[in-house]
Amino acid sequence: MQKFSVPKDSSQIFLVDSILNKHICSTKNKVKDVIKRRSIIKTLICAAGLTLRKLVCGKLGNNKYNSKINQLWKKERKIINCIEDLKHLIETNKRRHNFGKRLRNAKVSPSEMLKDYYNKLRYIKNEITACLDEHKKAILRTKFKLTPSIKIISNIQNHNDEEAELPKEEEFVKYYKELFTNKDGDDKETPHLDNWLKKFSKTLIVDWTINDKEILEALKYCGNFKAPGSDMVMKVCYKWFKSAQNYLIRWIKSTWYGEYTINKKDTNAVTFMIWKRDGKPKNDVKSYRPISCLNCDFKLLNKLIANKIYESIEKILPINQMAVIKNKHGTCEALLLYKSLVQSMKFRRTKDVKEIWCSWIDFSKCYDSISHKCLKKMIQSIKAPPIIHKLILDGIDSWNISICNGKNISKTKIPVKSGILQGKVASSLYFVLLTGEISYALNKEEQVPIETITPSNTLKINHISFIDDYQLYATSQKKVEKLTIKLREIAEEMNLKLNPQKCGIYGTDDLGKRLMLKESSLNFPYTSEYKYLGLVENSLDLKDINIQLFKDKILSKYSTIFESRLTTHQKRKVFNSTISPCAAYYLGNLITNKCSIQELLNECKKFDQMVRNQLVNQNIKKLQVSNSRIYLPKEYNSLGLNEIEIEVAANIIRKACYIKKRETLRGVDKLYIAMSKNGHRNTLSDALYITKKYSNFQINWNIMGMVKDQNNILLDAKKIIENIKEKRRNLWLEHWKKGNMTYANEAIKKEFHLPDLNIDSKYLMLCYAGSEEQIIYNGHVSLVNQSSPSSRLCRKCNKLEETSYHVASVCEFHKKNLHLMRHNSAVYHIITELCRIMKVKCTLRYPEASGIIKSGNMKIAAGVKYTFGTAKIYHNKPDLVWYTPEVIYVIEVSISSLKNAKSQMKMKTARYAVNSTKKLENFAALNNLKKGENFVEILSHKANFKRVHFMPLVFCTFGEIPKETMKYLEKLNFSNEKIKTIASPIARYTGRTLKAHFTN
């Protein structure tokens, strides 16, 4: 079932839900077997979801080809048949009856007609190619709209890659059967785990009662269309259908309190094999990443269990674990702790601590190797009623997967007897709780201090972990190796094995570098640098390596984005959700002694320049168009891309405020304050520099550090970032206004609404350039040698000066074709929406904009000329007249430039609602116009004094919609999606007009 939208109070939902409820009640009464009854009810819920989608969308899936392509293929087949007949005719020299008449009428020979058919065939094949290309473009944009992700672009682009021979289903089944085999020994002792669980069981205190409100709250934050499991029921069905929701609540409660026992059908996961790419061979089983999809109801049950434990998990886990804890930014805190540890050593240079040695650990297949014996022991140590223990343990015993390689799902169900079944919320929680024994044991060993000036507040650590990523710290090679051996010993209790190829040891000072080749009992490689959480590090981050790493990463990404067939606004969305966060993380976490904060910001400016160059190269922006249009928000009819420089600055502000917020980082806070006083670069000093440079906000870290209210600190961070972005926005607005452009002055007033236009980048580029009068290619030929005003006349109509405003709005030549098509397109889409409201099919064909459509006591009269007996009126042919039982709407549609939008609205109102007897052709005539007979009053009189409401719907040439027009559209109950559908073709036709005019 693909994504679709429908209001929650829709009558269609109520209708399907009532039918579903009847069938669920009937099944409960007829079917006595619990498992069979449950299977039937879930099938009914799935069928209800598909039925609703068909009612809303009119189909269950996307049509592969539209009617136009089918018609073209039909024509192609017909011409090919004619060519074959003509060839046969020429070869046999016989006249057939069906061709004889055609040849006589055309007065041509068979060979000449054959040549003509070949030309027609070539033309139709070109049309089919273009149509298929448009179809692929529409598929890409629709898929991105449903799932906004850069992966959608990559998948479409790689769709036609040559298929290599894939591993057979039997190979996958054999591999995962071996992987998930029980590896627990009968007499295996777990002393470290036993010590950890004693503390664990005393600390974890949870209220294990559950109510409807908790279930609905957990369901509320579940993704509507997340991939379902083997039952094919999506969470949206449980949200929209009350009967399905009631069934879900009953099932969860009965399972929670032991009335229902979890079985293998409930826990079965469909495991999809996703190729890892990155040069991995396609025929190797290990080159595929398993992604498991579980049944939504079972996932929700596990989420409720996890939510209960999450309430007190911070009290249980050691502070070294950075993951799964609420309000803890794991990657940020892990990087801050490590960097502050290294900076502390360099800043303090104490006698006791002269160097830092680091070991980083990687486990081999950690999630798939966890001992079930240890996992069950951990579950049983949780203070909970026996029915909760039984619920969780029954689930673990029932875990099984079905392999899906391509379209078919294997019938073989592989039991998971080793490792943790992935695909549910509780997976990472179970892993972190169980491996907490590693941190618990390591914390008893010698630790390294971060801040040493005030011993009472000194923070000491010897390791940091982020789920399964561990970093160990010590003051010598011998000590770090001792810690690593200890970790290996503890991990082996849970069947976790180290992966030596991905582990390593690093020494920070010259002494460490000299000892790198020294033999070690661990067989780990010694290295001068290593990669942790994405950043390449040694004593501090390596500036040049990390900047090059980031450059390589974004070059491929933004090339993929800007070269794609997405609309410009979709490109903006994916850029702001991928490149910007990537830049904020890489560059915002980069601290090195060889790079000042200003040098880092200068590097950010270089990346912004690279992005601007790419926009020009990909025809998304013309070189002459102001750079302000790239970074100003969408409401100024601009691209609205995030500026990398500002995003990095904002991330540094957030990090500084996070240090103040977290109690566990008080030692880091004190260290950084001391470093700032001595002129050493750190996160707090960087944030202070940024606030002075980019905002008007005054900040005092000493005062802020005394604040205990975390919400106030977060509020301060939000205020600073908003202030920075507002100041930068004002800077770009001033830069835009310097050009003395009419459009810039009008756009800055923000008196219009602009939807996300669904048009190609090449047309939107021309719209931006045209609005600023920056279309200068293929200029007027007479401008080369002459400078008189007459030489600047339009090359088409030869009446007014040739400007983009003239071409897009008032050129007499284009009024007969492209301007008329633009106007009719807007009228047509308004008619189709009114037909939807009337619940009648629109009989007009795009872009036809005249005709009469009736439905009961409602009627649309489009492009009809009205005659009112003796009344002599000139303006008597409005674009639309919509008759409803309560009121008659007279709708006049106009496409105008932004600067003339208000005047055009007054003109339309004067023609139809003030005085319709006089011909009004220009705005100057409005000044002396007096009220007289008008269309609205005469129509009201003819309709027995029924209320008539006049609506001048004025749209602007580049897709803008004035606020007054928006009010009228909202009054007509037009959806935002329909408004976007009206505005997009207007901007597209304007772009086509500018292209046709200036390139011809």
pLDDT(707) > 50:
no
Cα 828–832–836 angle (5° rounding)? 170
Residue 414: its H or E element: strand 409-415
Q: What is the mean pLDDT of residues 252-279?
A: 90
Determine the residue type at 593: N
Res. 883 pLDDT band, cuts 50 70 90: very high
pTM score of the predicted model: 0.83
| More confident: 571 or 349 | 571
Q: Which residue has the higher pLDDT, 923 or 962?
A: 962
Averaged pLDDT for residues 934-962: 91
Asked whether the predicted pLDDT for residue 133 surpasses 80, the reply is yes
Query: Could you tell me if 234 and 225 are in contact, meaning their C-beta atoms sit under 8 angstroms apart?
Result: yes
Confidence of residue 510 (pLDDT cuts 50, 70, 90): very low
Helices (H), 589-627: 597-617
DSSP string, 14-27: HHHHHHHHHHHHHH
pLDDT in the model for residue 43 = 94
Distance CA 775, CA 803 (A): 9
Identify whether 847 is preceded by a cis peptide bond (ω within 30 of 0). Answer: yes
Mean pLDDT, rounded, for 552-574: 87
Closest CA to 457 of 628, 284, 261, 668: 668
Pairing of strands 851-855, 752-753: unpaired
Q: What span, in angstroms and rounded, lies between the C-alpha atoms of 188 and 631?
A: 62
Measured over the CA atoms of residue 805, residue 809, residue 815 and residue 821, the dihedral's sign is positive
pLDDT at site 414: 93
CA pair distance 881, 866, nearest whole angstrom? 10
The pLDDT value recorded for residue 682 is: 86
- Any idea which of 198-202, 639-643, 904-908 has the lowest mean pLDDT? 198-202
Tell me what pLDDT residue 827 has. 94
Q: Where are the alpha helices (DSSP H) in 475-596?
A: 477-493, 510-514, 543-563, 568-588
Cβ–Cβ under 8 Å, residues 956 and 895: yes
CB-based burial of residue 397 (10 Å sphere; 0-12 exposed, 13-18 middle, 19+ buried)? middle
Which residue shows structure tokens 């890892």? 276
CA distance 856 to 232: 41
Q: Which is nearest to 53 in space by CA: 5, 14, 10? A: 5
What's the CA dihedral at 681, 687, 689, 692 to 10 degrees? Answer: -170
pLDDT over 80 (residue 262): yes
Q: Tell me which DSSP letter residue 866 carries.
A: P
Quick check: 21 pLDDT over 60?
yes
Reduced to 3 states (helix: H, G, I; strand: E, B; else coil), residue 854 is strand
Query: For residue range 171-194, what is the model confidence (pLDDT) as tens digits?
Result: 999 999 999 998 877 677 888 988
Among 84-98, 515-529, 734-748, top mean pLDDT goes to: 734-748
- Domains with residue ranges and CATH for the chain: 67-146 (no CATH), 188-204+320-371+420-537 (3.30.70.270), 543-738 (no CATH), 815-999 (no CATH)
Residue 782 pLDDT exceeds 60: no
The 10s digit of each residue's pLDDT in 859-872 is 999 989 888 776 68
The pLDDT value recorded for residue 333 is 85
Q: What is the pLDDT of residue 784?
A: 42
> CA nearest 731: which of 696, 773, 772?
696
The set of residues, in sequence order, having a beta carbon less than 8 Å from that of 210 and lying 6+ positions away, is 252, 253, 256, 304
- Residue 139's pLDDT is 81
Distance CA(574)–CA(147), nearest Å, equals: 11
Q: Residue 521 pLDDT more than 60?
A: yes
Cα–Cα distance for residue pair 473/519, rounded to 1 Å: 19
Determine the pLDDT at residue 1.
Answer: 66
At 536, the pLDDT band (50, 70, 90 cuts) reads confident
Strands 497-498, 363-364: pairing is antiparallel
Percent share of the chain, pLDDT over 90: 34
- Average pLDDT of 983-987? 94
Tokens of 985: 């073709």
**What does the pLDDT read at residue 319?**
85
Q: Which of 446-455, 558-567, 574-583 has the lowest mean pLDDT?
A: 446-455
Q: Any idea which residue has 């959700």 for tokens?
A: 577
In this prediction, residues 812-826 reach a mean pLDDT of 92
**Cβ neighbours of residue 704 closer than 8 Å, sequence gap 6 or more:** 657, 660, 713, 716
**Residue found under tokens 């047309």:** 763
Mean pLDDT across 723-732: 92
Whether the per-residue pLDDT at 42 is higher than 90: the answer is yes
Burial class (CB in 10 A: 0-12, 13-18, 19+), 995: middle
Distance CA 269, CA 403 (A): 9
Residue with tokens 């939902």: 13
Residue 352 has pLDDT above 50, yes or no: yes
pLDDT at 513: 47
User: 3-state class of 871 per DSSP?
Assistant: strand
Q: Tell me the percentage of the chain whose pLDDT exceeds 70.
A: 87
Cα-based distances in Å from 999 to 624, 626, 795: 17, 22, 12
The answer on pLDDT for 428 being more than 60 is: yes
| pLDDT > 90? residue 390 | yes
Residue 628 has pLDDT above 80, yes or no: yes
User: What is the mean pLDDT of the segment spanning 356-364?
Assistant: 85
- Angle made by CA atoms 624, 626, 632, in degrees to the nearest 5: 150
Judged against a pLDDT cut of 60, whether residue 815 lies above it is answered with yes
Q: How far apart are CA 348 and CA 649, in angstroms?
A: 28
Size of the chain, expressed as the number of residues it contains: 1000
Phi first, then psi, for residue 459 (nearest 5°) are -100, 125
pLDDT grade, residue 1000 (50/70/90)? low
Report the chain's mean pLDDT, rounded to a whole number: 84
For residues 896-921, give the mean pLDDT: 90
pLDDT at 325: 83
Residue 163: its pLDDT value, please? 52
pLDDT at 41 over 90: yes
One-letter amino acid at 383 equals K
Q: Which residue reads 């899936």 in tokens? A: 61
